[in-house]
Structure 1
């Protein structure tokens, strides 16, 4: 297995950029023995919703086709791109892996090598997503519960990305965990608190170097503090206009200092089954150790 697409999937603000930073770091260090990571050069692969990437892969003028047809075009484009790659490619995706109108998944099993899905405690996601969108935490919690939520939904003018159907946070989780793809799912909390073990498993799944020295060096290069410092010094091309900073805190359990009891209860009510499935709560609605610093 020497070529093809691996999807780096997640709900927004769950650790996808850190994951891509790690992949870029381990590839760069092995190839060039670099001592510094440039956050504005995370060339692991295009985001799956990139209008330019999809147009190049499909040969279509996407603006000439209704948005309702793009999902079927995307599935076929991913299949073509996957089958014609000569190297490994690691592509970020925030879409839910839904069943499309023409049948099958948006990201079908025969159009990739597999998917790595990063999940994060929705308490912390709600805070980080609010900062990302430039909205209140209550609005962020409401958005995370919307069954029809999409990114880049307004297509009245051409943007760099096509519409991405998300659904609710819980629906997004299930769309990937229940898909037919070869899958490794990891918790952001384990990436933080058991980094060597977790990123070694990530490297093995993604066919990256997995020796301890390479993993540790890559983790050093993409440490959150270094990424945050670089953003403050040079900016970050992926930061939304409404967001004060892309790399805000990155800490586990930030919610304990921010969310009200009512907000915590609302998130549990909205996503109980998925939080239970992922180990964030137990059957008595009690929070597990994963939720705390």
Structure 2
């Protein structure tokens, strides 16, 4: 078993919460008739941008420090936390694994045991991200194509989370899948359409139980409909204020009924090369069946 930090990385609205729900379900199974999980108790780890977690790792309060200063400290915080761990730990991150001034990549090889990156078709990401941010589709697509885009970029102090550099969607993907870390890349579409195989790979990479019965039970415990029903009944503490719901549809191919042809063309123009690498476009830049709904 490899001890240390395993980053659960993704661009927002690509399946990170589902992934964490699966991990929590797998870690908290019992012989009792447990059929679901509590979405407001997903104790799988911290988020990398947590101000309090970074303060703990650095041993210093960050309230008076600028976003640039904090960013330069973050690798040191992760390095210290990683060095103290005696077993695997699973922490969420939405930042790109970008180069920080004078300190190398945000998440360096000596500050983690590996990374699991969840990718999703940017056609569907654009729709969910617009809902998440409370903006129009065109604004969402523009954010995804902006190389210096960041979350919480206004530099307000004392927020629970610090600024997160995203870059464009393509920048974000390549910053992780081309980094010098042990990495497993999974696609949201495979998580949905080939769940047992995909989540078994996830379990093996993260050194979790990978026997078929345990994986099947965990998948069932965090089925999208169950998570959405819980949010409808009890709310979800991770839902942004501007978003009507965190769990929206959770499907593949919603873009067909939502995006205009010009919006599809813009996303292909901005991200075609990376979409090809991930199998969303073929060698002729044509949309592949992976992007369309399938019977499951």
TM-score in same-fold range (> 0.5): yes
Query: What are the superposed Cα offsets for residues 116-157 of structure 1, whole Å, 9 maximum, x if unpaired?
Result: 000000000000000000011111000000000001111234
**Equivalent position of 1:272 in the other structure:** 272
1:176 CA drift (Å): 0.2
Paired position in structure 2 for 1:25: 25
- Which range is displaced more, 33-42 or 197-206? 33-42
Q: Distance in 2 between matches of 1:232 and 1:111?
A: 38
Matches for 1:150-161 after TM superposition, within 5 Å:
150-161=150-161
Q: Aligned partners of 1:194, 1:35: CA distance in 2, in Å?
A: 21
Is the CA contact 1:29–1:35 (under 8 Å) kept in the aligned structure 2?
A: no
In structure 1, stretches of 5+ residues that fail to align are none
Shift of 1:71: 1.9
Q: For the structure 1 residues 156 and 136, does the alpha-carbon distance in structure 2 shift closer, same or farther, using more than 3 Å as the test?
A: same
**Counterparts of 1:23 and 1:31 in 2: how far apart (Å)?**
17
Q: Which residue of 1 aligns with 2:88?
A: 88
Equivalent in the alignment of 1:250: 250
Counterpart in 1 of 2:189? 189
Equivalent residues in 2 for 1:123-142 (5 A)?
Answer: 123-142=123-142
1:116 is aligned to 116
Deviation (angstroms), 1:60: 1.3
CA RMSD of aligned residues (A): 1.2
Q: Which residue is 1:236 aligned to?
A: 236
CA distance 1:99–1:193, change in 2 (3 Å)? same
2-structure distance, mates of 1:52, 1:99: 23
How does 1:61-72 map onto structure 2 within 5 Å? 61-72=61-72
In the alignment, does 2:13 pair up with 1:13?
Answer: yes
Superimposed CA distance per residue, residues 209-246 of structure 1 (whole angstroms, 9 cap, x where no aligned partner): 00000000000000000000000000000000000100
Distance apart, 1:3 and its partner CA? 2.5
2:39 aligns with 39
Residue 63 of structure 1 deviates from its aligned partner by 1.7
Deviation per CA, 1:227-274, whole angstroms, max 9, x where unpaired? 000000000000000001000000000101111111100000010111
Match of 1:290 in 2: 290
SS in 2 for 1:8: strand
Question: 2:74 matched to which residue of 1?
Answer: 74
Aligned equivalents of 1:36 and 1:167: distance in 2? 35
* Distance apart, 1:83 and its partner CA: 0.7
Deviation per CA, 1:83-137, whole angstroms, max 9, x where unpaired?
1013321000000001111232100011111000000000000000000000111
1:213 aligns to what? 213
Q: Could you tell me how far 1:31 is from its partner in structure 2?
A: 8.6
- 1:170 Cα offset (Å): 0.2
Deviation of the 1:2 alpha carbon: 4.9
SS in 1 for 2:105: coil
| Native 8 Å contact 2:36 2:226 kept in 1 | no
- TM-score, normalized by length of structure 2? 0.97
